[in-house]
Amino acid sequence: MSINYVILGYLSWRPMTGYDIKKIIADAETLPWSANNNQIYRALIKLHQDGWVTKTIENQVGAPDRHVYAVTPAGLEALKDWVVTTPDPPQSKKPFLDQLMWADCLDAAEMDQLLEAYIEAVGEKLFFLRVQADEKPNMPERTPRETYLWEMIHKNWIAHFELELKWVRQMREELMTMEKQQQRELARQARA
């Protein structure tokens, strides 16, 4: 997914400055970009050069000029062309699983700490996703169908993180059970 099309989408909602777009993307829990100024402004320059957005300069007294961008008909067409492309499959890269592949080198306490840290990270992400789903920041809501689509996107992300949380908690519990069984077996062998 290209940040350019996400920016076009937000500009199809309403005209915005680069700062407005940066704030929306930075606040979004589900977008994969950090929304640094370079990404946003490079994208806006490219979109402007392609004729997909217009730029209006608003003079302000005692403050820098505001550069307000709006989507053009060509930009709307480009956005639509992108939306109808074949979707990419879900991302399957999870850095935590890479760590977990080699986590057998950890002792029981270290393993538990690793899993607890992941539980906290997933739980925090889930909390913020639920807050965004409730507060609906930066959600256009221009039509009932658009509102429904955005709500379903939030539900998808929430379900994903709920499942991840359930999975890691189950794994943690099963590893604790394995550790207790191993300790009992070692104790039995020591008595024999």
pLDDT (tens digit, 9 = 90+) per residue, 152-161?
999 999 999 9
pLDDT tens string 122-164: 999 999 999 999 988 888 889 999 999 999 999 999 999 999 9
pTM for the full predicted model: 0.81
Q: How many CB atoms are located within 10 Å of the residue 22 CB?
A: 20
Compute the half-sphere exposure of residue 57: CA atoms within 13 Å on the CB side of its CA. 5
